[in-house]
Amino acid sequence: MSPRRQAPLTIEHALLGFVCAQPLHAYAVYQQLNAPDALGQVWQLKLSHFYALIAKLEQAGYLATTAEPQGSRPARKVLRLTEAGAAAFAHWRATPVEDPAQLRLDFLARLYFAERAGPATVRGLLIAQRAACQDWRDALRAQLTRRADQPDAGIFLQLRVRRLESFLAWIDRTLAAPAETAAVTYSITVVANSPQSDLAAQFVDYVRSSRGQAVLLSAGFSPTVEAFPERGPSREPGAVSAPARTLTVFAAASLTGPFEALGAEFSAAHPGTTVRFTFGGSRRLAEQLRQGAVADVFAPAHRHAMDLAIQAGRVWPESVYAFAANQLAVVTPRSNPGHLISLDDLARPGLKLALGSEATAVGQYTRELLTQIEGRGYFGAQGMDAVLHNVVRYGESVTEIMDTIARGEVDAGIVFASDGRQAGSAVQVPIALPALRPGR
């Protein structure tokens, strides 16, 4: 069908792209199209097919050709982009692939020419393609949900979802603004056998949206990914009202405040939906998943906890997304009864400390940080052992540590900086801890 009535195929747009910058001889375009370090990795086009496409584009009014004399040899055809051809190419380069079946080849070609146009064009294409891929993924997840009672019927759909998740993760990494690597990084995912994976995916997207990131930022967290506008709830054709559903979210205790706020907003935006949270130590939550606990979303504060869920088959690694970062802080009751003013004070005999247990993310991060601080010459001759000797309480969650501090049962505790910020005037942060160097 003529491109006048139907947009040219991807390979035809690629031909327009090579002529976009300047007029070229037809054979020079053919050589560029088949270059092994460029689109030659995507297509292998015969010369006869190439000239047939050129004739088609010329007939459609996208290309104009002139003959360049070569003496006694046949004249060479020089290709020039028309105004209509330039508009068609620019539109194609900036818009996302609309057919999932064409994503692999079609997107590569668009990205190739977007990169030649500059970072702004690449960014625009990635953002547009991200939105389209999310829609495809959500539609597939909805199909999986409808087939939840057929365990083997969804394997094909699961593979397609996982491929889209991998592609979305690549887009997010590419769009992420350069920043210092955060050692304390939170990740979130849809649990692999969630009975309502479509709704769970929408909650994950909401947490990572511009609104979700704003709530996390106000709670003392730092963003780790590019934030995108939140998307409205997906509606299936013909649907009048959404059925009542309960979304179960397992999340690190340090996320309690912002997640409860986001859960309320998400429920309001999705009528009939209730978000039920289970907050606790990340590793303990991962162990519950390993033992078969039913959940839809998992958001731990430590990568090790996520790895446990992946190893148990409860999480697909392709569906794991970073969404927030944090740092550690020494927090004391408002009066600072232990008179802490420096890092060495943590090793002072008689000081009462509360730390996270080894089963918690904050506890694991704390030990990593104390080891690094010790390596910088702090804590005196006994080193980190002197600090650990002062521990009178190992909490099973950040909430437990903060409650212990607020009641004045200890002189200080080490928690996430966001927890100290959310506690407000009830506590203070008297010591600036150095940044935790990223581990794994």
Alpha helical stretches, state H, 313-412:
361-375, 384-389, 398-406
Range 377-383 contact pairs with CB under 8 angstroms and sequence separation of 24 or more? 378/343, 378/344, 378/347, 379/343, 379/344, 379/346, 379/347, 380/344, 380/347, 382/347, 383/347
Q: What is the pLDDT of residues 128-157, one digit of tens each?
A: 999 899 889 888 888 887 776 666 657 788
Residue 363 belongs to a domain: yes
**Is residue 144 domain-shared with residue 157, that is, in the same domain?**
yes
User: Is 248 strand, coil or helix?
Assistant: strand
**Is residue 257 domain-shared with residue 185, that is, in the same domain?**
yes
Determine the Cα–Cα distance for residues 375 and 200; give it in Å rounded to an integer. Answer: 43
Q: What is the pLDDT, as a whole number, of residue 412?
A: 92
User: Is 218 strand, coil or helix?
Assistant: helix
Question: Domain ends where: 101, 129, 160?
Answer: 101
Residue 439 belongs to a domain: no
Number of domains in the chain: 3
- List, in order, residues 6 or more apart from 96 with CB less than 8 Å away: 107, 125, 128, 129, 131, 132, 133
Helix axes 210-218, 256-269, angle to 10 degrees: 150
**Is residue 269 domain-shared with residue 363, that is, in the same domain?**
no
Q: Could you tell me the pLDDT band of residue 277, with boundaries at 50, 70 and 90?
A: very high
Q: What is the pLDDT, as a whole number, of residue 404?
A: 93
Q: Give the mean model confidence (pLDDT) for residues 388-417.
A: 92
338: phi then psi, degrees, rounded to nearest 5: -85, 0
**Is residue 368 domain-shared with residue 222, that is, in the same domain?**
no
Determine the Cα–Cα distance for residues 289 and 48; give it in Å rounded to an integer. Answer: 59
Of residues 45 and 257, more confidence is placed in: 257
Q: What is the pLDDT of residues 168-194, one digit of tens each?
A: 888 887 887 544 444 688 999 999 888
In the chain, how many H helices and how many E strands?
16, 13
Question: Domain ends where: 72, 101, 130?
Answer: 101
What's the CATH code of the domain at 44? 1.10.10.10
Question: Domain ends where: 292, 326, 360?
Answer: 326
**Is residue 319 domain-shared with residue 332, that is, in the same domain?**
no
Q: Give the mean model confidence (pLDDT) for residues 26-31.
A: 81
Q: What is the pLDDT of residues 192-217, one digit of tens each?
A: 888 888 899 999 999 998 899 999 98
Determine the Cα–Cα distance for residues 119 and 205; give it in Å rounded to an integer. Answer: 25
* Domain housing 147: 118-232+243-326
Strands 427-431 and 63-70: unpaired
Query: Hey, CA dihedral for 328, 329, 330, 333, is it positive or negative?
Result: negative
pTM of the model: 0.74
Q: Which of 67-71, 76-80, 116-120, 323-327 has the highest mean pLDDT?
A: 323-327
- Look at residue 425 and tell me whether its pLDDT is greater than 90: no
**Is residue 169 domain-shared with residue 191, that is, in the same domain?**
yes
Residue 174 belongs to a domain: yes
- Look at residue 4 and tell me whether its pLDDT is greater than 50: no
